[in-house]
Chain A
């Protein structure tokens, strides 16, 4: 099993009026094939920004300062996504890497039907597949239809065939683009749209939406939260991507619906053999779903380990504090003293040291490096083995 994604020393800053926001600082993440990697952390720690950096969707005034995002686009090695052109990147988004956003009611466009929004992805990325399907339909029509109407339609079908063959051989063919600009001839492309709608229905069925034929014609406000999230997942998976980023897909849902969605992601991931970057603030969800977990704090990655390791043997003080804060049956939660670090003026050295109980002198001066303390268990802490700390607050 090789790496699919490898983020190296990613640093993202936002140049705002109030000052430079140190949003991400030297983040390193490796994700293997067919792995579910969970990124856990509190609000504002940079989980979503890491995901957006992979898709190069950091909104201005944010900038990727340094680092590289290596992704395996094909079987010959890793490509740095940061060096690609915007057109190439647009090709990747939704096709090879796609993303499910946090709030389905905010991520879906309220003025388009669910079918439109899923078909958009398919029309953009799967033109050759659509052309292939359209050709098949035309051939069937030619065989089955008879009588005067078929004879009249025959020349149109032939032109359509010509067009779709070109499209099938070269998805970026110039001909459909020319045809699209000619008012009446534009109708020749309707069949593509039809096929896209049919694929949208199929992908909705894939995510277990009952009555998919009706749902494609509905608008987002007509669906419940769980249904909307399913539709989002359908749109994200319409092109069977190799890599799926799920940004808190279940946060706004009820637990019974959350369980349904988690089961769905688990099943689809196994079916498509894709890797998943699962972003969540809920350690419990990560424990249920992920193979490996990375914990983030204030723009830095503190600890990466397999899910069993990190829950049975958390080494970073922040991870431990976070675990203690989660309410569990029969145990009272414990708070973390102090407040989350200010990203504009982050504390010098380790960003967690002002709230850390085992901080020592070096913590206030140097940002700790990631070190592998056990096989596969990486920790960024100067004093994670718990020597008696001097100061605590």
Chain B
């Protein structure tokens, strides 16, 4: 499968400014050297606890945040990626590197390029209560991307809005109402409709169901599934709920403190997790079956601050299997024998 979105050594740091001169004294390493590959048509799940950098990664890929370093590729031919990489190694021919990056690397995009890119990539926010402008009618909210990108106007735009509203399960007449007249699930449908307006290929969902009830969550997940197959979309689905990711995603990436710790198929992550953190996530996620109250694994302590992450493996202070090796050197993502299941751990399970 061809990679649609790919990040290479992506870093997003937020500087900590102190003192009268606002000099940087450190950085919050929200996303640290991350290589993510989302292939065309994939439903990629990004799982992690709050503060681990999932949202930052999602927003950086859409270039709503500026990465500190690294590359983001979207629909880039593999030979161009290779050329950029080889040019980076050497010091000569900087001009060619700059030219290539400006053409292909989203991390180096500016102005007009970004605007045309955003037609292709869209975002659905976490909380549908704050992501919709309360002073705009729903049809204006959904129609705004069309106006911003000058795609359609007048009757054509109105018809398109009605069509999109029907796609997400709302009626055309509901377009004349304001967001406060809708329930949480309906608002999330409006947010999805807005994301779909420009016919994007890639959508980032930032915890779209965490503010919703389970029955509504199920409706939204089914809607996403239908839209994905109808319009050949590719999703990056950010969530903290491992069971949701397991039930809908094609592939799951587990993130901890700005790093990927495990990548694999949902069933593999859920039934044979290889990283101790994923195992803890699996075991602490409650399951609606009282007969399967499993052995609990309660992690001690809390997630350390990403401004001052522990040396070596970032998980070692909370890990039961940590050794001196974990404290000193950082493990890299390595693949299992079949090349499907990646883990960054010195002492992987299973």
Contacts and interface: CB of A to CB of B under 8 A. Distances in A.
Interface string A270-293: 000000000001111111100000
A281 B215 CA distance: 11
Given A288-B293, A321-B215, A335-B215, A224 B246 contact: no
Interface stretch (A70-78, A162-170, A326-334, A375-383): A326-334
B298 interface: yes
A308 B291 contact: yes
Interface residues of A, number: 45
Contacts of A324: 218
Given A287-B288, A308-B291, A322-B214, A327 B49 contact: no
Given A255-B49, A256-B49, A334-B218, A329 B246 contact: yes
Looking at A282, A327, A330, the one whose CB has the most chain B CB atoms below 10 A away is: A327
Interface stretch (B10-18, B279-287, B327-335): B279-287
Interface stretch (B21-29, B79-87, B146-154, B237-245): B237-245
B285 A335 contact: no
Interface string B283-325: 0111111110100101100110000000000000000000000
A220 B15 CA distance: 25
Interface in A244-268: 254-260, 262-263
A311 B242 contact: no
B298 A260 contact: yes
Contact of A311 (B243, B246, B267, B290): B290
B284 A328 contact: no
Contacts, number: 135
B184 interface: yes
B243 A335 contact: no
B288 A312 contact: no
Contact of A308 (B244, B290, B299): B290
Contacts of B336: none
B219 interface: yes
A288 B247 contact: no
Contacts of B244: 327
Interface string A332-365: 1111100110000000000000000000000000
Interface residues of B, number: 42
Interface string B228-258: 0000000000001111101110000000000
A331 B240 contact: no
B131 interface: no
Nearest to A260: B298
B111 to A, nearest CB: 38
B298 A259 contact: yes
Contacts of A285: 286
Contact of A336 (B184, B218, B221, B247): B218
A259 B284 contact: yes
Nearest to B285: A255
A330 B284 contact: no
Given A256-B49, A256-B280, A283 B290 contact: no
B13 to A, nearest CB: 22
A307 B286 CA distance: 14
B284 A258 contact: yes
A327 B287 contact: no
Given A43-B184, A255-B49, A255-B240, A329 B215 contact: no
Interface in A280-328: 281-288, 307-308, 311-312, 321-328
Nearest to B280: A256
Interface of B: 49-50, 183-185, 213-219, 221-222, 225, 240-244, 246-248, 267, 270-271, 280-281, 284-291, 293, 296, 298-299, 302-303
18 contacts: A224-B302, A225-B50, A227-B302, A254-B50, A255-B241, A255-B286, A258-B286, A259-B299, A283-B214, A287-B287, A287-B288, A322-B214, A329-B243, A329-B271, A333-B217, A333-B221, A335-B218, A340-B183
Given A224-B302, A311-B291, A340-B183, 6 more contacts: A255-B285, A281-B214, A284-B285, A286-B288, A328-B247, A329-B243
